[in-house]
Amino acid sequence: MIDAVIAGGGPTGLMLAAELRLHGVSVVVLEKEPEPTEVVRALGLHARSIEVLDQRGLADRFLALGRRHPLGGFFAGIAKPSPERLDTTHPYVLGIPQTVTERLLAEHAVEAGADIRRGRELVGLSQDADGVTAELADGTRLRSRYLVGCDGGRSTVRKLLGVGFPGEPSRVDTLLGEVELTTPAEELAAVVAHVRQTQLMFGAMPLGDGVYRVVVPAERVAEDRSIPPTLDEVRRQLKATAGTDFGAHSPRWLSRFGDGTRLADRYRVGRVLLAGDAAHVHPPMGGQGLNAGVQDAFNLGWKLAAQVAGWAPEGLLDSYQAERRPVAAAVLDNARAQMELMSLDPGPRAVRRLLAELMDFEEVNRYLIEKIIATGIRYDFGDGHELLGRRLRDVRLERGRLYELMHAGRGLLLDRTGTLSASGWADRVDHVTDSAAELDDVPAVLLRPDGHVAWAGADQEGLPAALERWFGAAAA
């Protein structure tokens, strides 16, 4: 029996597969598309996602193929400088196409031992007390202990489970694609700048060799958004919005997206779980979708691995929904707010002008940007030190960097005192004594495998309870 089947081979599913393999969990990824997509829906990775990659030793692969951009202007496109004193060693957006991100994550998952099967579509599932049976379109069946739906906003897994997906349908659609334009670059840039004074959901970004990434409002909401627009439709909307179609021709690919927002009622039904767009969809404002999915996988991976291995304490797997669903709800809210701020109506435009004034205050600017880059997230672990529930930045140590010690995906007790003990959990938690660790106002912290602080203190008090809560019973 396979330990885990993952439906969907996008960034969420690939990240989850690698996280599970890190702990020896056998994984099969089912991706219905026979070949990787050429459609570039997402263009960047935010600070928390880069930290996640850094914690697994992958950041350098992505940094080598991406371009670092300032964080200013990422909330509703309001032009403000990057906030100062962000609590991260990656205070930028890494510009990198989703196609490259998926390729790198797939390479990592395969290196870790994941079995990725393309052209395999899940069409049915059933579960019992011992496992899950997945039925594929070709009639074959796979048996696994757990199954995770990472199969996007139209998730087959979610529908088969009967999980509700309440929210608001799209009110507007936007066309997106990569096409060749014949209008001279300077003239095109001037037209785009003029149109964007009033129409913020419009743009033409040069990709080189006369190819541009074009974004333009659609005429109406599509009945079936999975059907791509035609080149004639894109030309027509360019002319309606900008007065010219810029000589658009030879599309590499065309797509469309809406502004609907939906959040799954549940992230878990028995042995089946949901992650990424299968659990939450929202407008692409701020580029949060791919990042939220990767971070879902990072939260879920070690917990599901612990469940498979048999050492998970009671409630650990359910903490995935308890922690990540409120995060998704907050992303939906800020994406909705940003969409309203992009409106051409007088009321939203007045609010946009007011918010632009408020963002001149450094605290406001930082607060809103931290919502986008996900460094301000704090899971509810109860009362305690202000670090409790937060992820810890990459602090300097005598032996290098904190994140360099987290590549194995284990818990970590970072101890400046040299007096603490986690001996009963040595098979799950590394104990690092380092008097030079750059910790603020706390002698020691216990980190979960995802880097969030599970305990902070100066002595043994409360530490065994925290270890047992997150890492199960101590070994004999």
Closest CA to 288 of 375, 388, 200: 375
Closest CA to 321 of 272, 390, 268, 261: 268
Per-residue pLDDT of the chain (476 residues; tens, 9 = 90+): 999 999 999 999 999 999 999 999 999 999 999 999 888 888 899 999 999 999 999 999 999 999 999 988 889 889 899 998 899 999 999 999 999 999 999 999 999 999 999 999 999 999 999 999 999 999 999 999 999 999 999 999 999 999 999 999 988 899 999 999 999 989 999 999 999 888 888 999 898 888 999 999 998 988 787 788 999 999 999 999 999 999 999 999 999 888 899 999 999 999 999 999 999 999 888 889 999 999 999 999 999 999 999 999 999 999 999 999 999 999 999 999 998 998 888 999 999 999 999 999 999 999 999 999 999 999 999 999 999 999 999 999 988 899 999 999 999 999 999 999 999 999 999 999 988 778 878 999 999 999 999 999 999 999 999 999 999 999 97
Q: Are 392 and 451 in contact (CB under 8 A)?
A: yes
Q: Are 467 and 434 in contact (CB under 8 A)?
A: no
Token duo for residue 466: 């925290």
What is the model's pLDDT at position 343? Answer: 85
Give, in words, the CATH class of 173-258: alpha beta
What is the model's pLDDT at position 399? Answer: 84
What is the model's pLDDT at position 95? Answer: 94
Could you tell me where in the chain the CATH 3.40.30.120 domains are found?
Answer: 396-471
For residues 5 and 404, give the distance between their C-alpha atoms in angstroms, rounded to a whole number. 29
Amino acid at 232: D
Is the alpha carbon torsion for 215, 219, 221, 224 positive or negative? negative
CATH of domain 396-471: 3.40.30.120
> What pTM did the predictor assign?
0.94
To which residue do tokens 């809210």 refer? Answer: 333
Q: How far is CA 171 from CA 42, 152, 223, 326, 343, in A?
A: 21, 20, 12, 24, 12
The domain at 2-167+262-373 falls in which architecture? 3-Layer(bba) Sandwich (3.50)
Instruction: List CB contacts of 173: < 8 A, sequence separation 6 or more.
Output: 217, 218, 220, 221, 222, 225, 256, 257, 258, 259
Is the alpha carbon torsion for 239, 245, 246, 251 positive or negative? positive
Token duo for residue 356: 């632009």
Q: How many CB atoms lie within 10 A of CB 190?
A: 12
Q: For residue 375, with 0-12 CB atoms within 10 Å meaning exposed, 13-18 middle and 19 or more buried, which class applies?
A: buried
What is the model's pLDDT at position 234? Answer: 94
What is the model's pLDDT at position 447? Answer: 98
Amino acid at 226: S
Residues across the chain: 476
Q: How far is CA 225 from CA 238, 258, 336, in A?
A: 19, 8, 19
Q: Give start and end residues of each alpha helix (H) in 220-361.
A: 231-242, 289-309, 319-341, 346-358
What is the model's pLDDT at position 344? Answer: 82
Q: How far is CA 378 from CA 326, 327, 452, 461, in A?
A: 10, 9, 8, 23
What is the model's pLDDT at position 428? Answer: 97
HEC readout, 190-227: HHHHHHCCCCCCCEEEEEECCEEEEEEECCCCCCCCCC
For residues 259 and 285, give the distance between their C-alpha atoms in angstroms, rounded to a whole number. 9
Amino acid at 214: V
Closest CA to 433 of 449, 414, 455: 414
Q: Are 143 and 28 in contact (CB under 8 A)?
A: no
Token duo for residue 388: 């409790």
Could you tell me where in the chain the CATH 3.50.50.60 domains are found?
Answer: 2-167+262-373
